Every structure is written in C-alpha cells, then in structure tokens.
Chain A
C-alpha cells in the first residue's frame, strides 16, 4: 500500500491550464503573477549560465508533482512533454493520475470494489462522526470519488452544526479537486478561523497558487509563520513561491532558513546546491550534493550532479566514476540521455571532441527529443566544416525548444557566415526574444541592420 501526500499531489491538465479562467488579472502587473516568467524583480540568473525550462524559468534543483513544468504559454508548448519530467501531461486532471490510479486499484481487486459506494446511505453514516471520518478518507483517497465524498462531508458538517473545522477542510479539499477554487477558499478560511493548522494554511496557499495570486499566498505563509514560528513546510512554501517568481536570491535565503530548522531537508539542500553550481561555485555545490549522498539519497540524478560538480570543481578523479554510476542507475532512457549529455560536456571540457560527438549522439539515441544535444552536436559539426548538417540540426533544436536562445543564435550566426542575411535576421530576432540581454545577439542584429541599410 502506498500513501501519497495529499498536499503535494497536484497536477494541472492541459485543459485546466489553457482554459484557465481562475486567474484574476489576465494581464498581471510585473511581480504579481506566476505566469510571466520575465517579470523577475532581480536576482534571477541569466540564461547564459543557467538553462531555462519551457516556461522561461531557470531550472530548479527539485521537482514535485505541481512544479513539473511551470505553465506553458501556448497550446503547442502544453502538449509537448516538459523537459524536467517526461511523463506526458494529461488532457484534464479528470483524466489524470488520480483516475488512472483509481482504475489500477480496481484492476488489482478482481472481486470488485471493497465498498459499493452507490449503495451507501450517506445520511446514516454522517450521523456517526468517527465512522464518517474514516469513510470519507476511504472514499476520497482510495476510491477517488470526489462527488460522493463531498456529499458525505456536507452531511457530516451539517450534523456537526458547522463547528468541526476538520470537515470544513475536507469540503475545501473536495472543492479544490472539482476546480471550485473560490468555494474552497471560503471553507479553508472558515476552518482557519476555528482552528489554526499548518495543513489548512498549506491547502489554502495551494488555492491561491491556482488562482495565480502568489503575493496573497506569501502573505498567508507569513501569517502562518507568526503562529507556527520556524515551521519547515511554511518556510519551504515561501521559498518555492520566490523560486517560481524567478527571485532566486530570496528563495535561497528561505531555503537556508529551512535548513536551519531541519538540516536533512532534501529539497532545500538540492535547491541551494544547484544554485551554487549555476552561480559559479561548483565546489560548494559539491558539498551540498555530498551531504545528500551521506543522507542516503542514491539515484541517477544525484550521481549525475555529483559528477558534474566534481568536474567543474576540478576533482577529475571522481568525475567519470560518478557519471558511470549515474548511467548504471538510470531508470529510463530519458535519464540515461541526460547523463550522456552531461558526459558530452565533460568531453568538450577536456577537449576530446570525438568523445563529445559520440556522447551527444548517444544522447539522441536515448532520447530523440533532446534539443540541447542537437544544438551542441550542431556546434561540433560546424567545427568539422559540415555546414548543411549543422543547419539541419539547429533547425531541429529550435523547433523542439523554441524557449532556448542557443539554437536560434547559432543558426543566425551560421546563416550570417554563409551570407543568408534574411534568415539570419529572423533567427536573431527569435534569439533576442528568448534572451533579450544576450550581447552577441544584439551585436549581430546591429550588424545586420547596417547591412540592410546599405542595400
């Protein structure tokens, strides 16, 4: 039997995301929305050093069900599998994991369900508070039948004369699953009035997150911290919001705060570690990842990160062994592809371009949609003088990942070299869109404009 944390579980389907009417402001002011990644208030790293995800946010050190990919901007992006997690996004959350897992539990019970919900007399069970609570949890978590669960909760809270905060939280949970966020908010708030609970604060923050009101959620967390000083989940929630809003320095500060309370918090250690790595301090990042290893985390991702940190911190003896271990621990082809990709970087770093070429080829053999590998392979092809192949690879890379500036810029520079100024200009514009601050792109555009003016 597997228990899953209800607070953490959260997956938006394509339909919810694209047809989202819950956000209050469709054109939000800078710094008040999670939908506009470009509105960082400073502290965000530049894409020149830290890779970005599909939605334009820097990659994080930790993935959870709700942060698997951020919010894509267009339908096309939404359908495409996100970079950090390779499970396809469901069409709606009604067809998502909850339901698939529900059917799975049916499959494992050949004699049929344990309780036949449609034949239950909910009104009768609502009279018995202790039984009702257990029954509710069974219906909600095991059967995934939110409507029946809501019916039971409504009857039970009526029976308790609206004095039991627990039922209010459960009703809120049901409303949240049904997508009725405003109603859920009301229930959670009313429950909080009766009884201060960390869980309720976290559920309410989840609602605000869905309503795209990160500042309200932050405020709520801080209020929660007044009542529960030093509560790790609240601190962690604040850090996550800052990270989503691209304010990495504040996020790191709160993750540090988390570590002061709980020095075995994997998420905080991983996020601070990746932060150090991308701010040019791989040796400090190495210490954080080594700490995770000491704590017993033993998987492909950790060894990959250890290998990379070792390489960039110039501890060459550990690099290849770590990456080899990562390869042997890879659970699926996508993970193996990422490790090969990083091995390719190590090969570029030591100047063995043939090895690098083979590594990137192996990346593509494992994962045919690896845009970064296409781009790097193209750069190697240009060095070998194979312009046409490089061009094709760059086009593939830029169509796979329009959010990255590298393939656009490389394509622009390549086209400029062979004299195809029109294509160069178009690609340079795309590169500028993806990374406005890139100096080389700006120079290229300036140069091209001069060319066009002379014609």
Chain B
C-alpha cells in the first residue's frame, strides 16, 4: 500500500528531551483458581451438612409440638 504509507507517517522525535511520566496504575486482584477438594474433605462437609439438616428437622418438629401443646 504505497499510498497509505504517504498518508500516515510516524513521528519519531530526534531532538530535544524525551520525558516519560510514569503513572502508577491501580492494581486489580488476580483471578483465582479454585482449589479442588479432597475426597475426605468433601465427605466431611457432606456429613456435616446432613447432620445439620437432621438437627434442623428435629428443631422444627419440636417447635411444632410446643405450639400444639400451647394451643
């Protein structure tokens, strides 16, 4: 593209002082790969969730009983 070249010519300063201002940019936190969980940890969490679920159900049942007895 010979015509294009004549249109845009780069400017390279050859004389005088060249100054560059270094502006500190803000830093983003980095993307986070999630660690995989070991089988043991997964099992433990599953057991804990199940245990909490049973406790919650029992509490709900208790509360219902109390309400019924109050009525």
Nearest residue (CB) in B for A49 is B30
Instruction: Determine whether the beta carbon of B54 is less than 8 Å from that of A4.
Output: no
- Chain A facing B: main interface SS: helix
Using an 8 Å CB-CB cutoff, how does the interface string of A357-389 with B read, 1 for contact, 0 for none? 000000000000001110110110010000000
Q: B31-49: which have CB < 8 Å to A?
A: 31-41, 43-48
Ranked nearest first, the 7 interchain pairs of A and B with the lowest CB-CB distance are A104-B51, A372-B29, A301-B34, A8-B40, A345-B31, A64-B38, A379-B26
Which of the candidate stretches A157-165, A206-214, A249-257, A405-413 sits at the interface with the other chain?
A: A405-413
Q: State the Cβ distance, B27 to closest chain A Cβ, in Å.
A: 5
Q: A328-353: which have CB < 8 Å to B?
A: 335, 338, 341-342, 345, 348
Instruction: Determine whether the beta carbon of B43 is less than 8 Å from that of A4.
Output: yes
Bound CA–CA A38/B34 (angstroms): 23
Instruction: Determine whether the beta carbon of A62 is less than 8 Å from that of B35.
Output: yes
Q: State the Cβ distance, B42 to closest chain A Cβ, in Å.
A: 9
Instruction: Determine whether the beta carbon of B35 is less than 8 Å from that of A103.
Output: no
A299 interface contact, C-beta 8 A? yes
A121 interface contact, C-beta 8 A? no
Q: State the Cβ distance, B33 to closest chain A Cβ, in Å.
A: 5
Q: In the assembled complex, which residues on chain A have CB atoms less than 8 Å from the CB atom of B30? A: 49-51
Instruction: Determine whether the beta carbon of B51 is less than 8 Å from that of A376.
Output: no
Which of B26, B34, B37 has its CB near the most chain A CB atoms (within 10 A)?
A: B34
Chain B residues within 8 Å of A, Cβ to Cβ: 24, 26-41, 43-48, 50-51, 54-55, 58
Q: State the Cβ distance, A357 to closest chain B Cβ, in Å.
A: 13
Bound CA–CA A90/B5 (angstroms): 71
Bound CA–CA A68/B55 (angstroms): 25
Q: A81-101: which have CB < 8 Å to B?
A: 84-85, 87, 97, 100-101
A313 interface contact, C-beta 8 A? no
Instruction: Determine whether the beta carbon of B44 is less than 8 Å from that of A65.
Output: yes
A63 interface contact, C-beta 8 A? yes
Given contacts A100-B51, A413-B24, A444-B24, contact A9 B36 (CB under 8 A): no
Q: State the Cβ distance, B49 to closest chain A Cβ, in Å.
A: 9
Bound CA–CA A101/B41 (angstroms): 13
Given contacts A104-B47, A308-B31, contact A4 B36 (CB under 8 A): no
Q: In the assembled complex, which residues on chain A have CB atoms less than 8 Å from the CB atom of B26? A: 378-379, 382, 410, 413-414
Q: State the Cβ distance, B16 to closest chain A Cβ, in Å.
A: 26
Bound CA–CA A9/B44 (angstroms): 9
